[in-house]
Structure 1
C-alpha cells in the first residue's frame, strides 16, 4: 500500500521498558492499533532502561523488586513524597528526564519516527525533555498502564497522556497542572475480549463444574500471593485456585510442594498467552492494578484486589474500588468470605454493570488518530526580510550532518539526489506536477525529512533543524515540458546547477516530460541538502513516497538489547581506529592532477549510464570480486579511455573518496549521514581491465582492514566537539582536492521495483555532491534490474562528459568479456 490521504504508512517508535510485563503489554496493544490504522507502517521498539545504559535495567529491576518485597515502607515513603512535596517530584522528574532524554535522543535520530508512543514513565520523561530542549517535532503520546497515575507518569509537554478511567483525570491535573490528559479504556491486545468461560476450559484442562479463581500478580508474581492462596483454599465449596506464577519459579515450586490435586490448586509457570486463562476464570485476584487488572476488565472478568502492594498498587486499588470496577480485600478473612459468596452467586457481582458501562463509554480506536493529528509546537518562521532567526532549542545537527553545511561555498552546493526514469503502465494517466504535489502532500504529515529546515542556534553552537509547519509542497515541485532529448538534458543540467534554498526545507523535485504524446516515459530529479542526509537517507525518503507492491502489513523492529562492551571489544575498536588514523595520516595527501581545478560557480552537468544488474553480478563472479569492486575497475578503465589521465606529468592514479555505511538504522533510514569514508587509488594508466579490478580490490581491502572508515568516522565525530566556527574552519581544510581527486559512491538500492501514480520506476541514478577543487563525482546504484551510473561534472569538464559515458559502456563490456 502506498501513501494516501488515509492509512498512510508511518514510522512509529514505541518507548517501553522491561520492568514487569505491563509496559510491554501496553506497547503490543498499541502496535496492533498502528497496524489497523496504518497498514504497512514500520514500528520500532526501544527499551528506555537499556538506552540509559546496559547496567541500568538490571539495577532498576533489582531495586523495584527489593522495595516491593523487602522494604515496602520505603517505596511508600517515596511515592507519598512525590505527592506531598511538589519540589521533590519536580527535581526527581527533571533528573531522570535529562538522563533518559539525552540517551533516547540517539534512538530518535537513528529511526526518525513520525509518531512516538510511550508506555513507561521514564521514557515519557525523556520525550518531555526532548520536546522542551530540542523541539521534538512529532506527536508524542503517553499511555498510563496503571489505573491511578502518579507524578512520574505525567508531563505537560507531551501532546496527550491517556489515562485508564475518567476518575483519574483530577489526580493528573493536580500533579501536573495543564497536562493534556484524556480518558480511555484498557489499552490491551485484541485477544483480551469477553467470552464464555466454559468454551475456554477444555483447551486448558480446567474442570467445567468448579468455580475457578485465577490468582495473577504480574510477571514477578510478588506480594501476598501465598496468603491469597491460603484464603482461597479456606473457602468452602468446589473451588479451583489457579496461580499464574509468571517468572517466579520459587513461588511455583513452593505451591507444588503442597501436594494438592490440580482441581484444588494449579500453579502455572510462565504463560505466553494469558487471554484464554483469564476468560476461563470466574474471578481474578490480583494486587497491583496494572496491566493484569486492565486485561481482566477488558475480558469482562470480575477483579478483586487482595492486600495491594505498596504505593501504586494501593492507589490503583483505591481508584478501581471508588469507580465500582473492583473490590478490595485487606485481610484473608475478607477474601475468603467474598469468594464464598461469589461462588454461591455464580461469580458476577455488583460491579459487572459498572464494568460494562466503562468499556462501552469510549472507543479506543479514536485515540491513535487523534494523537497523530495533533500539532507539536511550531518554531519561529524566518523574518519578513528572509533572515533566518536563531532557534536555540532546535534539534542540533549531528557533527557529520553539520560538516556538509560548513563545507558549502557560494560555488559548490552540498546537495545529493537522484535522476529517475519512469514509464507509464497501461492505461495510466500522465504524470504531472499536480499529481506529485498531491502524492507528496499526502505523505508529508508522516515524513519529517521533507519538512526539516536548517536554522542557526546562536553563539558557538552547531546549527540545528526544526520542522517547518508552513511548507507548501507546490513550492518544491516543478515541471518542465521539453521537445527533445537535448532539451531534457539541458533541463537536468540547470536543475543540478541551482542550489537548494536553506530558507525553507532544502529539497526540490523536478518532473521532465516530452511534449509529444508518443514519448514513452519521463524523468524525475530529486535533490536535498547533504546536511539532511546521505544517499541511504535519500533512498529511504523516496521509498516512503513511492508504492511498493506486496508491502507487508507491519514491519516491526524489536528493541535492541544494550549491553556494556567488554574490555576486549573496546580495545579492538580503539586499535582499529588508531590503525586507521595512522593510515590516514601517512597516506592522506592526494596526487596533484590536472583534473582538479577551481569549480565554475554553480554550473553543473549530469550524464547517466544504465548497466544490466545481472551482467554486473556476472562480471563480479567471473573476476571473483564484489559488484562494487568490478564497477570501480570499470570506472578506472573509462577514465583512462576518456583521456582524464592524459597530460604532461599527470599521475597514473586518482585518489577517490568512497563513502562506506557505518551504522544500521534498523530499518530504512530517512535522515542523517551515517557513513565513514575510505580512500582508494583508481589506477588510470595503461593496463587491462582485469588488472585494474584486482589492483583496486587489493587497495580497498587493505584500507578497510586497517580501519580507515572507522578512523574517518571518528574524525567526523571529533570535529563536532569544537565550537561551530572552529568546526567549520577544520571541515573546510579536510574536504578538498588536497586529500582526494574525485568522489565515487556505490549504493545497494532496493531490489523490488517501485511505482508512483501508475508509473514504474525503471532506473535510479544517484547524484553525489562535489567538493572544493573536485569537479567530478560518480554515483552508482543497484535498483531492481538496472545498475544506474550517474556522472556529475563541473562545466569545465563538459568536453569529456559524453566520451566518459561511452567509455563506461565499452569498459564494462570488456570487463564482462575479460572475466570469462
Structure 2
C-alpha cells in the first residue's frame, strides 16, 4: 500500500479518538444512516486498495486469502468484482460489532465474532456471506487459573486484581478508570497496561502508590499471562483486547467506551451477556466493589462466556472457506469464438508477450520430459492414477485451472479460473512397443499445440507394452508460456509430487521497505541504463544457416542425461559455474555436429533466460525472468577455450545489467495497447536478435516421488521462436542433469549427431581443465 499508509492511518485514528471524537462519531453514523455515503466511501477506498493489492496477490500466488483489516477487505472485494479474483477470499472482523467498512458481499465468507453480530452484518451489507465464529486469537490466549500465573508476574495472590488495558495507545478515560478502581472497597490491585503511552505511565507512577495498589506497566510483548492472572479486565473499545480477554475466560467490563466502534462493541457485547458497561466512575466503583466482595465470581456473565467459547470450533473456519467456490467465469466459447471477458485478471506484460509472439506454426509452450522408476510393489503409473492425483490438488493449484481469454478492444489478454475443468481431458496415455514408438509419441506430443479454449496444459504418460508395473515410464508435461516460465513449471509439478519429509517452500511477498531506498532505486536505474546501452549497441545476431522458417508444428525431442556430480567436478576443474561448463559443452557439441561448417559464422547468439532476484521458488505461475544473450563460439578450439570465452562474455553482460534491462523492456512494452504490444513483441522475438535458445534451471536436489514411482530425471523443454528452430533445456535435478534438445523437423538430420556430440564433448570437458 506504500510505506506512508500505515503511519498516516494510525495518526488519523489516534487524532480522531483523542481529539475529535465527535468527527469520528459523525463519520461512523453517516456510514450507517446513508447507504449512498457508505457505498461511495467504500467504493473509492476499494478501487485504490484493490489496484495496489493486485501486484501483491500476483506475486504471492495464493491458494486462499484472509483479510484482517477493512482496507484489505475493500481491496479484495474490488479485485473480485473487477479482476474475477479466483481463489477463496474471506475476512475476519476483529471488532465485536461489525461496521459497514468491514463488510463486502463479494467475499466468500466474513467471520464475525458472535451470532448476535449477524443481523448487523446483514443490515449493513445485504446478501453478505457472514458466519459466526469465536475470538480467533493466538493460541497462548486460553482459559487458566489466575493463581497459577501470578507468582511468575510478581502479583499478589490475596488481592482482587483488575487489569486496565486499552490497546497499544492506551487512550480514552484511563486515568478516570484508575481513580474509580482505587476508590473501590476491598483489597484491590489495579494493573494498568499503558502500551506505548509512556506519558500515561509516568503520570501513574508519579502518584507514588505501592505496587500492590497500583502497578503501571509499559509495553508488554505477551499479555496472555497477564490477562489470565486478572480477576477482571477493564477496557474501552471492544476490539482485540476484549477478544483476548474473552478467549481466556476473563470477565470484561467496558468503561466509558470510545466513540463510534467502541460504543457499538460495548453495546453488542452487553446485549450478548458477555460484558457489562459502566458509563460513570461511580458505576465502575460499585461494580468492582461488589465483584471483589463476591470473591471474583462473574455469575451469569462467566457462564455466558463459557457457553460462547464452547459453542463453536474455530479450527473449522478456514477449511470451510477453502471449500467455497469463487464465482464462475463466463463460458469459454460463444458462436465458435473465444468470448472476451473484460473483467478477467490481466496477464502481466511478460506473460502476454508469449501470446503475442505465437504463430500458426510456432506454439509458445514450455514443459518437461520426466523419467520415472517404480519402487518395490508399486502399481503401474497410469493416466487414471495421475488424473486422481491432479484432481485432488486442483483446489489449491489455480495454475492448472487458468484459462487465457481476450479482454476485448485494446486491453491486454487476461485469465480466468475455469471451475469446470475435466482433468481427464488433459491427461493421456500411450503404450509404446519399443524406443522408436516412445520417441515418436513424444515428438507428436511436442508438435501439437495446447488448446487455448481450456486451461492450456497437457500431460502424457508413455508406458511400455506388457508393463505390469516393474518397468519405468516416461511423463511429458507442457503448458503455455503465457501461464509461466520454467520456474513456474517446476513449482507447479512440485505441488503435485511427493517428497517425504520435505517442507513446503515459504512464499515471499513484496521486498522489504529497506530495499526501496533512493540509493537502491538509483542503483537499479543505473543498471537498467547500462543494460539498455548494451542491448542497443550489440543487439543483432549473425545471419546463420541454422536459422530458417519453421515447419508448421512438427517438432522432435532428444534427451541426454549427465551425472550431476561429474558436472560439478568439471565445473571445479574449469573454475566455472556448472551452467557455464554446460554451455561450453553445448558449443563444442554444435561444432562437432557440423553447425559451423563452410561459410557459417563461428558464433551463435544464444538467448539465455535468467531468474530475477525477486522470483520466489514456490511460485507456480508467471514469467519472472530476465534474458541475457551470450555468443557460443562454435569455431575450432578446445572445450576449455570455449568455456572460458563463454564465462567471460556471460559475466560481462550480467555485470552490465543486461537481464534487468531486458526485463524492463518486457514490462515497458506492456504499457502500450494490446495491438501495439503484439506488433513490437513480434519484431524483437525472432532470429534477427538470436540464433538459438538455451535455458539452465537449477532444480530441486532432493528426489521427488508420485504414486510409488521415483522421478529419476527431468529434461526441460523450451519454446522456439520465429526463425529459431533449435532450443536446449538443461536442468539439474537430484543426481542427474538432464539436457533436452527441442528441434524443428527440418533439423532432424542433426538431432542424433548432436546428442552423441553432447556426450563426447562433456567427457572431454571432464578430462580437460586447469
- TM band (smaller chain): over 0.9
Q: Helix, strand or coil for the counterpart of 1:544?
A: helix
Q: Helix, strand or coil for the counterpart of 2:446?
A: helix
- The Cα of 1:555 is off from its aligned counterpart by 4.6
Residue 607 of structure 2 contacts residue 694 of structure 2 at CA under 8 Å; is this kept in 1? yes
What is the alpha-carbon distance in structure 2 between the residues aligned to residue 542 and residue 736 of structure 1?
Answer: 29
Alpha-carbon distance change, 581 to 101 in structure 1, aligned in 2, over 3 angstroms? same
What is the alpha-carbon distance in structure 1 between the residues aligned to residue 490 and residue 700 of structure 2?
Answer: 9
- The Cα of 1:517 is off from its aligned counterpart by 4.5
What is the alpha-carbon distance in structure 1 between the residues aligned to residue 25 and residue 130 of structure 2?
Answer: 25
Return the match for 2:188 from 239, 244, 248: 239
What is the alpha-carbon distance in structure 2 between the residues aligned to residue 362 and residue 473 of structure 1?
Answer: 37
What is the alpha-carbon distance in structure 2 between the residues aligned to residue 782 and residue 269 of structure 1?
Answer: 54
Report the equivalent of 1:309. 258
What is the alpha-carbon distance in structure 2 between the residues aligned to residue 193 and residue 303 of structure 1?
Answer: 15
Alpha-carbon distance change, 238 to 558 in structure 1, aligned in 2, over 3 angstroms? farther
Alpha-carbon distance change, 444 to 528 in structure 1, aligned in 2, over 3 angstroms? same
- The Cα of 1:430 is off from its aligned counterpart by 1.1
Residue 246 of structure 1 contacts residue 270 of structure 1 at CA under 8 Å; is this kept in 2? yes
Q: CA offsets per residue over residues 423-474 of structure 1, 9 Å max, x none?
A: 1111111111110000000001111100011111111111111111111000
Q: Helix, strand or coil for the counterpart of 1:172?
A: helix
- The Cα of 1:518 is off from its aligned counterpart by 8.2
Alpha-carbon distance change, 544 to 553 in structure 1, aligned in 2, over 3 angstroms? closer
- The Cα of 1:378 is off from its aligned counterpart by 0.7
What is the alpha-carbon distance in structure 2 between the residues aligned to residue 225 and residue 559 of structure 1?
Answer: 39
Which deviates more from structure 2 when the two are superposed, residues 125-134 or residues 717-726? 717-726
Residues 361-440 of structure 1 aligned to structure 2 (within 5 Å): 361-383=311-333, 386-440=336-390
TM-score normalised according to structure 2 size: 0.97
Q: Helix, strand or coil for the counterpart of 1:155?
A: coil
Residue 693 of structure 2 contacts residue 720 of structure 2 at CA under 8 Å; is this kept in 1? yes
Alpha-carbon distance change, 681 to 807 in structure 1, aligned in 2, over 3 angstroms? same
Alpha-carbon distance change, 219 to 614 in structure 1, aligned in 2, over 3 angstroms? farther
Structure 1: which 5+ residue stretches go unaligned? 1-51
- The Cα of 1:665 is off from its aligned counterpart by 4.5
RMSD: 1.7
Alpha-carbon distance change, 637 to 558 in structure 1, aligned in 2, over 3 angstroms? closer
Which deviates more from structure 2 when the two are superposed, residues 497-506 or residues 373-382? 373-382
Which deviates more from structure 2 when the two are superposed, residues 210-219 or residues 352-361? 352-361
Residues 776-791 of structure 1 aligned to structure 2 (within 5 Å): 776-791=726-741
Residue 386 of structure 1 contacts residue 503 of structure 1 at CA under 8 Å; is this kept in 2? no
Q: CA offsets per residue over residues 318-364 of structure 1, 9 Å max, x none?
A: 11111111011122222121111111112233311221222232222
Alpha-carbon distance change, 559 to 233 in structure 1, aligned in 2, over 3 angstroms? farther
Q: Helix, strand or coil for the counterpart of 2:65?
A: strand
Alpha-carbon distance change, 297 to 518 in structure 1, aligned in 2, over 3 angstroms? closer
What is the alpha-carbon distance in structure 1 between the residues aligned to residue 11 and residue 659 of structure 2?
Answer: 40
Structure 2: which 5+ residue stretches go unaligned? none
Count of paired positions: 767
- The Cα of 1:384 is off from its aligned counterpart by 6.2
Q: CA offsets per residue over residues 484-507 of structure 1, 9 Å max, x none?
A: 112111111111111000000000
What is the alpha-carbon distance in structure 1 between the residues aligned to residue 615 and residue 235 of structure 2?
Answer: 40
Q: CA offsets per residue over residues 639-664 of structure 1, 9 Å max, x none?
A: 111111112x2111000001111253
Residue 531 of structure 2 contacts residue 656 of structure 2 at CA under 8 Å; is this kept in 1? yes
What is the alpha-carbon distance in structure 2 between the residues aligned to residue 641 and residue 267 of structure 1?
Answer: 82
Q: Helix, strand or coil for the counterpart of 1:610?
A: strand
Q: CA offsets per residue over residues 648-707 of structure 1, 9 Å max, x none?
A: x21110000011112534451100011111101011111111111111111111111111
- The Cα of 1:84 is off from its aligned counterpart by 2.0
| Corresponding position: 1:748 with 2:698 | yes
Report the equivalent of 1:717. 667
Q: Helix, strand or coil for the counterpart of 2:360?
A: coil
Q: Helix, strand or coil for the counterpart of 1:697?
A: helix
Residue 111 of structure 1 contacts residue 665 of structure 1 at CA under 8 Å; is this kept in 2? no
| Corresponding position: 1:550 with 2:501 | yes
Alpha-carbon distance change, 147 to 272 in structure 1, aligned in 2, over 3 angstroms? same
TM-score normalised according to structure 1 size: 0.91
Which deviates more from structure 2 when the two are superposed, residues 528-537 or residues 363-372? 363-372
Q: Helix, strand or coil for the counterpart of 1:418?
A: strand
What is the alpha-carbon distance in structure 2 between the residues aligned to residue 533 and residue 167 of structure 1?
Answer: 46
Alpha-carbon distance change, 570 to 559 in structure 1, aligned in 2, over 3 angstroms? closer
Alpha-carbon distance change, 519 to 601 in structure 1, aligned in 2, over 3 angstroms? farther
Residue 333 of structure 2 contacts residue 453 of structure 2 at CA under 8 Å; is this kept in 1? no
Return the match for 1:592 from 534, 543, 547: 543
Residue 54 of structure 1 contacts residue 564 of structure 1 at CA under 8 Å; is this kept in 2? no
What is the alpha-carbon distance in structure 1 between the residues aligned to residue 276 and residue 362 of structure 2?
Answer: 72
Which deviates more from structure 2 when the two are superposed, residues 556-565 or residues 616-625? 556-565
Residue 53 of structure 1 contacts residue 563 of structure 1 at CA under 8 Å; is this kept in 2? no
- The Cα of 1:792 is off from its aligned counterpart by 0.6
Report the equivalent of 1:97. 46
Q: Helix, strand or coil for the counterpart of 2:514?
A: coil
What is the alpha-carbon distance in structure 2 between the residues aligned to residue 290 and residue 244 of structure 1?
Answer: 15
- The Cα of 1:256 is off from its aligned counterpart by 3.1
- The Cα of 1:562 is off from its aligned counterpart by 3.5
- The Cα of 1:205 is off from its aligned counterpart by 2.2
What is the alpha-carbon distance in structure 2 between the residues aligned to residue 282 and residue 777 of structure 1?
Answer: 73
Q: Helix, strand or coil for the counterpart of 2:333?
A: coil
Which deviates more from structure 2 when the two are superposed, residues 211-220 or residues 475-484? 211-220
What is the alpha-carbon distance in structure 2 between the residues aligned to residue 639 and residue 62 of structure 1?
Answer: 65
What is the alpha-carbon distance in structure 2 between the residues aligned to residue 467 and residue 152 of structure 1?
Answer: 28
What is the alpha-carbon distance in structure 1 between the residues aligned to residue 646 and residue 110 of structure 2?
Answer: 57
- The Cα of 1:230 is off from its aligned counterpart by 2.2
- The Cα of 1:70 is off from its aligned counterpart by 2.0
Which deviates more from structure 2 when the two are superposed, residues 384-393 or residues 157-166? 384-393
- The Cα of 1:530 is off from its aligned counterpart by 0.3
Residue 380 of structure 2 contacts residue 469 of structure 2 at CA under 8 Å; is this kept in 1? no
What is the alpha-carbon distance in structure 1 between the residues aligned to residue 712 and residue 505 of structure 2?
Answer: 26
Residue 379 of structure 2 contacts residue 469 of structure 2 at CA under 8 Å; is this kept in 1? no
What is the alpha-carbon distance in structure 1 between the residues aligned to residue 59 and residue 506 of structure 2?
Answer: 16
Q: Helix, strand or coil for the counterpart of 1:66?
A: helix
- The Cα of 1:411 is off from its aligned counterpart by 0.7
- The Cα of 1:314 is off from its aligned counterpart by 1.1
Residue 60 of structure 2 contacts residue 509 of structure 2 at CA under 8 Å; is this kept in 1? no
| Corresponding position: 1:699 with 2:670 | no
What is the alpha-carbon distance in structure 1 between the residues aligned to residue 164 and residue 506 of structure 2?
Answer: 35
Q: Helix, strand or coil for the counterpart of 1:778?
A: strand
- The Cα of 1:627 is off from its aligned counterpart by 1.5
Of structures 1 and 2, the one with the larger relative CO (CA 8 A, separation 6+) is 1
- The Cα of 1:722 is off from its aligned counterpart by 1.2
What is the alpha-carbon distance in structure 2 between the residues aligned to residue 617 and residue 264 of structure 1?
Answer: 71
